[in-house]
């Protein structure tokens, strides 16, 4: 199966932890025999002038459509499978990670932990940090049309309106297959990993319910508390050295 892994990130001032994530995906793709393409903001041109004018300067709103158009372009160019992966995806168990089994367009199952007034809260939904799409999937064009429609006919005030919230809404009736082997680690979860917080890692694993071999590391500066880069690297070290067992072992532990 001819497969392309697609990623995008700016070429200047790349944080060291992002570079490490990108390298992990590139090495995984090479080991699998997949093609890997890293592009940059020039790919936003695929969105078209009308869409770009509607979403303004928000790069995440641009990326939400751009990633879909990049997938469609790859499939039109002859790839059997196109996989988008965000730049902050870290592959820490490359021998175990398999995304090629998806028969329809698929998204990661998201388990998100956060602090609230009563302690800790969590939700289980989906995320678009990874999109796995085989050729001729009928839902891809629908998602693209819905994304463009939302931007062209309604004000866009936050990027989720043309991104993950839109896809979650479509999921209510389309029921996309979910990828259990890719996790979403909130900023709180990344800090907990770095600090060896067993209690929080047990809840991360048991709420997610399946082993993870790669994860979106939410350590960027738009979330509070911001994860210091040193802690991000420490969390990555723990994931990589244990091949994810630092989280996955808690699946077998008592709740």
Q: Could you give the CA distance from residue 144 to residue 230 in angstroms, rounded to a whole number?
A: 38
Query: Per the confidence metrics, is the pTM higher than 0.85?
Result: yes
Instruction: Please state whether 209 falls in left (phi above 0), alpha (psi between -120 and 50) or beta.
Output: left
* Residue 121 confidence (pLDDT): 87
Count, in order, helices (H) and strands (E) of the chain. 9, 10
| Look-up of token digits 């991000």 | 232
* Residue 252 confidence (pLDDT): 78
Q: Is residue 128 within 8 Å of residue 110, measured between CB atoms?
A: no
Strand ranges across the sheet with 119-126: 119-126, 107-116, 178-179
DSSP string, 159-189: GGGGTHHHHHHHHHHH---EETTEEEE-HHH
* Residue 254 confidence (pLDDT): 59
Smallest CA-to-CA distance from 130 within 162, 157, 90, 94 is with 90
Burial of 133 (0-12, 13-18, 19+ CB in 10 A): buried
* Residue 69 confidence (pLDDT): 98
Q: Is residue 101 within 8 Å of residue 171, measured between CB atoms?
A: no
Q: Is residue 215 within 8 Å of residue 109, measured between CB atoms?
A: no
Q: Could you give the CA distance from residue 198 to residue 181 in angstroms, rounded to a whole number?
A: 20
| Look-up of token digits 């998201």 | 110
The CATH architecture assigned to 3-252 reads Alpha-Beta Complex (3.90)
The per-residue pLDDT string of the chain (255 residues; one tens digit each, 9 = 90 and over) reads 999 999 999 988 999 999 999 999 999 999 999 999 999 999 999 999 999 999 999 999 999 999 999 999 999 999 999 999 999 999 999 999 999 999 999 999 999 998 887 788 899 999 999 999 999 999 999 999 999 999 999 999 999 999 999 999 999 999 999 999 999 999 999 999 999 999 999 999 999 999 999 999 987 767 788 899 999 999 999 999 999 999 999 997 655
* Residue 90 confidence (pLDDT): 98
């Amino acid at each position: 199966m001819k497969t392309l892994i697609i990623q995008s990130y700016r070429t200047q001032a790349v944080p060291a932890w992002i570079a490490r994530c990108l390298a992990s995906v590139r090495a995984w793709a090479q080991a699998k025999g997949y093609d890997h393409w890293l592009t940059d903001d020039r790919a936003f041109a695929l969105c078209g002038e009308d869409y770009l004018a509607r979403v303004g300067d928000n790069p995440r709103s641009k990326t939400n459509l751009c990633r879909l158009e990049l997938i469609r372009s790859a499939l039109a160019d002859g790839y059997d499978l196109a996989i988008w992966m965000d730049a902050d995806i870290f592959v820490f168990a490359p021998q175990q990670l398999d995304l090629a089994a998806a028969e329809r367009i698929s998204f990661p199952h998201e388990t998100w932990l956060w602090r609230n007034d009563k302690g800790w809260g969590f939700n289980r939904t989906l995320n678009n940090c990874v999109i796995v799409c085989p050729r001729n999937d009928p839902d891809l064009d629908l998602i693209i049309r819905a994304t463009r429609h939302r931007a062209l006919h309604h004000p866009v005030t936050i990027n989720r309106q043309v991104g993950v919230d839109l896809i979650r809404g479509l999921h209510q009736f389309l029921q996309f297959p979910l990828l259990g082997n890719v996790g979403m680690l909130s900023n709180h979860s990344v800090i907990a990993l770095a600090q060896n917080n067993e209690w929080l890692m047990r809840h991360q694993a048991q709420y997610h319910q399946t082993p993870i071999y790669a994860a979106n590391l939410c350590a960027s500066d738009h979330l509070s508390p911001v994860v210091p880069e040193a802690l991000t690297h420490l969390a990555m070290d723990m994931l990589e050295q244990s091949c994810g067992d630092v989280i996955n072992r808690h699946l077998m532990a008592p709740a």
